[in-house]
Amino acid sequence: MFKFTALLALVSVVPSLVNAQASLYGQCGGIGWTGATTCVTGATCQELNSYYYQCLPPSTSTTHSSSSSVTTSSKPTTTTSSTSKSSSSTSSSSSAAPSGTPAAGNPYTGYQVYLSPYYAAEVAAAAGNITDAATKAKAQSVANVPTFTWFDTAAKVPTLGTYLSNAQALQTSSGQKQIVQIVVYDLPDRDCAAKASNGEFSIANNGVANYKAYIDSIVAQVKLYPNVRVVAVIEPDSLANLVTNLSVQKCANAQTAYLECVTYAIEQLNTVGVYMYLDAGHAGWLGWPANLSPAAQLFSTLYKNASSPQYVRGLATNVANYNALSAATPDPITQGNPNYDEIHYINALAPLLQQQGFPASFIVDQGRSGVQDIRNAWGDWCNIKGAGFGTRPTTNTGSSLVDSIVWVKPGGECDGTSNSSSPRYDSTCSLSDADQPAPEAGTWFQEYFTTLVTKANPSL
């Protein structure tokens, strides 16, 4: 259970709502922005990219300017096998030891998952804009559900220290060990088969070196707080593209850089005891039978080339996607794939990973998987209409292979814009099953958040 008292402990970093002012970590400017352009006391409006200015604490550096906001979606362009396409536990666990051996077993066991003040602020602001009392109350409860914090630009990394410091103070005051969940998401030429999530670094413009500096800055923050456990999802979408989308020229060009950068990331994060799950797409992407062996080969080779880092725990699936962990019946769009949900995918992939010496444990994103049978095609990923919040984070997963159900995607943050004139426009965001009009990727999508709340299954 995720206790409300934990959220109260964060009150010092969650803003009060002020009329005509953007909240801490809220949007305060950018091309097409029509909302508040000033920030609450204690925050300043800083440019992350031309489309997204954000209210950040004064200590947050913006020496790196981003070219995109987080998209957090899993989107296959092709498959090789089809033409269609808080947790908390009462048991004990040893602390993460940056210079020692990782704790045996599930890293979530015995830990409470830290509530992101960034997302809590977004939810508080969104709930304040809902007039129906029952819906407002449900929306407010979302702030008590732990999500991952995405570090999709180098400029955001200094805030990690703030979160770790707060988690350490909470751990000391409550006696409850804390996990801080993060997403490492800033590869050069990131997510090479899609436009909405294009990142700030370019391979052609010193991107590999910039990425390594980004990783070094994360490591430096984590190193300051060795008693707080950190769990990271590593680079959503990008590795899966190396399995299925090398026919896309940008992906082919990025392959060497991706492998070098991810190898560096897992080697360095391992030195400070960060538990890592490499992103492995989802059932509708790498779950096709013909994709399973190539995927297992990619992950195992990457792992071994990095000297088998002890803190690589396994893989993350369904990040920012909509698949059920265990579907009652196959969605019609999955026809032809026996691995029609995440547990079938995991059960099919795990033995192949184990045969090659890769640690086959998983976390599964169910943040937007509450409603099934709502897509026209399995590859549709952008702001799907009628989606609802899904199963709350828990270690009671029903599978020894799955460490935890998690919410990696912060529900309400947009997947991509439906504005075809935007430089980051992806046509997937204008399909008939995509909610429109939609703002820029990573910015708040109020109408979509409200739908996630009202369609939540189980109900909030």
Q: Nearest-5° angle of CA 445, CA 42, CA 25? A: 20
Q: What is the pLDDT of residue 199?
A: 85
Q: 265 and 184 in contact (C-beta within 8 Å)?
A: yes
321 is annotated as contributing to ligand binding: yes
Structural domain spans, the chain: 67-454
Annotated binding residue 150: yes
Is residue 10 scored above 90 in pLDDT? Answer: no
Q: Is 373 a catalytic residue?
A: no
pLDDT band at 31; cut points 50, 70, 90: low
Angle at 414 between CA 257 and CA 201, to 5 degrees: 25
Annotated ligand binding at 409? The verdict is: yes
Q: State the distance between the two ends of the chain, measured CA to CA, in whole angstroms.
A: 14
* Residue 230 burial by Cβ neighbours in a 10 Å radius (0-12, 13-18, 19+): buried
Is residue 331 among the annotated active site residues? no
Among 370, 236, 216, 352, smallest CA distance to 297 is for: 352
Of 186, 189, 237, 435, the active-site residue reads: 237
| Residue 282 marked as a ligand binder | yes
Instruction: For residue 377, give the DSSP letter.
Output: S
Establish whether 285 is an annotated binding residue.
Answer: yes
Question: For the chain, how are helix, strand and coil distributed in percent, rounded to 5?
Answer: 30, 15, 55
pLDDT at 96: 42
Catalytic residue among 341, 415, 426, 435: 415
Q: Is 380 a known ligand-binding residue?
A: no
Q: State the pTM of this model.
A: 0.82
Q: What percentage of residues in the chain have a pLDDT greater than 90?
A: 75
List, for residues 403-452, the tens digit of each pLDDT value: 999 999 999 999 999 999 998 899 999 999 999 999 999 999 999 999 99
Q: How many CB atoms lie within 10 A of CB 294?
A: 15
The dotted CATH code for 67-454 is: 3.20.20.40
Q: Single out the catalytic residue among 191, 341, 403, 426.
A: 191
Instruction: State the average pLDDT for the chain.
Output: 86
